[in-house]
Amino acid sequence: MTTYFGNNKFKFGLFGINCSGGCVLSEAPERWNADWDDVVKLAQMADEAGVEFVLPIARWRGLGESFVWEKSFETFTQAAALGALTKNLGMFVTAHVPLITPAFAAKAIATIDHVTKGRAGLNIVCGWNADEFAMHGVTMDGDKRYEQGLDWYKVFMKLIGGGPDFDWDSEFYHFRNMTSNPLPVQKPHPPIMSAGSSSGGQAFAAQASDIMFTTMHNYDTTRDTVTRLRALAAEHGRRPDVYVQSLVVCRPTRKEAEEYYHYFAAEHADAESLAYFKRQKDATLAKSTRSGDAAADRATVARMRETGERYPGNFPGMNPIIGTPDDIVDEMTKMHGIGLNGCALVFLNYLNELPYFVQEAMPRLERAGLREKFVMPAGRGD
Ligand SMILES: Cc1cc2nc3c(=O)[nH]c(=O)nc-3n(C[C@H](O)[C@H](O)[C@H](O)COP(=O)(O)O)c2cc1C
């Protein structure tokens, strides 16, 4: 387990709070609108509750014509702003490799790390939506995106490691006189995350990340995937944390939770967003993913074709955790039992849902030994 963001056995990030719609494909009227005042209020609430980090989504346009992701705050600037308004919450930023240079990322991450006294984190993504890249005049290469990502990562790490100026020549980049100052506060470096799920994405994450993501469909396959991902990373001398993304509905009774989930994710599902999402992802699959030689690639393709198994308002690959506070704890205990270190939490409307989760589920998670009672560390934000 990494020691980034403390020592809880099962850690939490808030996922997608910078985007309208958050990370739920729903047209329910109370869905997340990502108004700035709400984002701040939510971040401060999460900060006081001991949630480990915010994980925004880097987006440049919405899912087709949908409300979902139509509006999104940019992640580096948001992290600096929220970092100044919180005390302990980790602040991930998300960099699209083909759009952000390593020199910019190194300086921006260091800036956020200084603003927050060591709370910055970097999610490296290689992209999947060609429509967004076209906005920057950049063409996506589905086959090479993770090779470029690894090259980008090496330059970034060299920059934030300090040392003499250097040049870099590779298939992807020709950089001259590279240097960055200040360096990040966190040593050896701020945590790096990657959520690639194709075989190329997983190979990249195994070499570059402290936190990897996988998708969760059932305990057995997820346990196998976690074991496989750790083995892959071990080949590079690494032992990353492994997380999943979870959509949570927590209510006093299971019936209430299930009915609410059905209401927003089935009755009010945003089918057009889902269709756009699948179409765009399908179009950028690497040849190796299409040919499905590796288990990860077969799973990726299956996920794109997924029908019926979960409500359509539930993002493909996102694990729904629906039930009472005790159900939530049971589920998370099992997740921890198969080797997961935490999850990126999603709620339909974070501000409506987080207080009950904090009030009822968090103390039970402490009693179950998955988390410790949160006390704001002395000196934070004084
Ligand atoms: C937790 C999580 C966060 C992600 N954040 C972003 C993001 O901010 N921007 C983006 O373009 N893709 C994001 N992705 C998509 C991944 O980078 C990746 O493209 C996706 O998981 C599919 O894997 P593949 O690229 O190996 O096919 C995210 C995925 C997950 C699971």
* pLDDT tens track for 316-356: 889 999 999 999 999 999 999 999 999 999 999 999 999 99
Task: Classify domain 11-367 by CATH architecture.
Answer: Alpha-Beta Barrel (3.20)
Measuring from atom 5 of ligand 1, which residue has the nearest CA? 57
Q: Where are the domains of the chain?
A: 11-367
* pLDDT tens track for 101-131: 999 999 999 999 999 999 999 999 999 888 9
Distance (angstroms) between ligand 1 centre and the Cα of 127 equals 7
Ligand 1 pocket mutation, candidates 72, 73, 128, 291, criterion most atoms within 8 A of CB: 128
Phi, psi torsion values for 39, nearest 5 degrees? -60, -45
Round the average pLDDT of the chain to a whole number and report it.
Answer: 93
* pLDDT tens track for 11-54: 999 999 999 999 999 999 999 999 999 999 999 999 999 999 99
215 lines ligand 1 (CB under 6 A): no
Residue with tokens 């702003």: 81
318 lines ligand 1 (CB under 6 A): no
Distance (angstroms) between ligand 1 centre and the Cα of 125 equals 6
pLDDT of residue 309: 61
pLDDT at 291 > cutoff 90: no
* pLDDT tens track for 123-181: 999 998 889 999 999 998 878 999 999 999 999 999 999 999 999 999 999 999 999 99
Pick from 180, 176, 198: which is nearest to 189 by CA? 180
Which one has a higher pLDDT value, 76 or 310?
Answer: 76
Distance (angstroms) between ligand 1 centre and the Cα of 366 equals 30
pLDDT at 4 > cutoff 90: no
pLDDT of residue 279: 83
pTM, to two decimals? 0.94
53 lines ligand 1 (CB under 6 A): no
Pick from 124, 108, 122: which is nearest to 183 by CA? 108
Per-residue H/E/C for the chain: CCCCCCCCCCEEEEECCCECCCCCCECCCCCCCCCHHHHHHHHHHHHHHCCCEEECCCCCCCCCCCCCCCCECCHHHHHHHHHHHCCCCEEEEEEECCCCCHHHHHHHHHHHHHHCCCCEEEEEECCCCHHHHHCCCCCCCCCCHHHHHHHHHHHHHHHHCCCCCEEEECCCCEEEEECCCCCCCCCCCCCEEECCCCHHHHHHHHHHCCEEECCCCCHHHHHHHHHHHHHHHHCCCCCCEEEEEEEEEECCCHHHHHHHHHHHHHHCECHHHHHHHHHHHHHCCCHHHHHCCCHHHHHHHHHHHCCCCCCCCCCCCCEEEEECHHHHHHHHHHHHHCCCCEEEEECCCHHHHHHHHHHHHHHHHHHCCCCCCCCCCCCCCC
How far is it, in rounded angstroms, from Cα 336 to Cα 346? 18
Contact 13, 243 (CB under 8 A): yes
Residue range 356-378: mean pLDDT, rounded: 96
pLDDT of residue 305: 63
CB atoms within 10 A of CB 181: 9
pLDDT of residue 296: 76
pLDDT of residue 2: 57
Contact 284, 128 (CB under 8 A): yes
Distance (angstroms) between ligand 1 centre and the Cα of 220 equals 23
How far is it, in rounded angstroms, from Cα 215 to Cα 222? 7
pLDDT of residue 336: 98
Distance (angstroms) between ligand 1 centre and the Cα of 96 equals 10
Tokens read off for 17: 């709070």
- Is the torsion defined by CA of 50, 51, 52, 56 positive or negative? negative
What is the identity of the amino acid at 73?
Answer: F
Atom of ligand 1 nearest to the CA of 286: 27
196 lines ligand 1 (CB under 6 A): yes
- Beta strand 174-178 with 166-169 is antiparallel
Give strand pairing partners of 335: none
Give strand pairing partners of 124: 95
% of the chain at pLDDT higher than 90: 78
**pLDDT band for position 216 (cuts 50, 70, 90):** confident
Pick from 92, 111, 107, 105: which is nearest to 5 by CA? 92
Atom of ligand 1 nearest to the CA of 215: 31
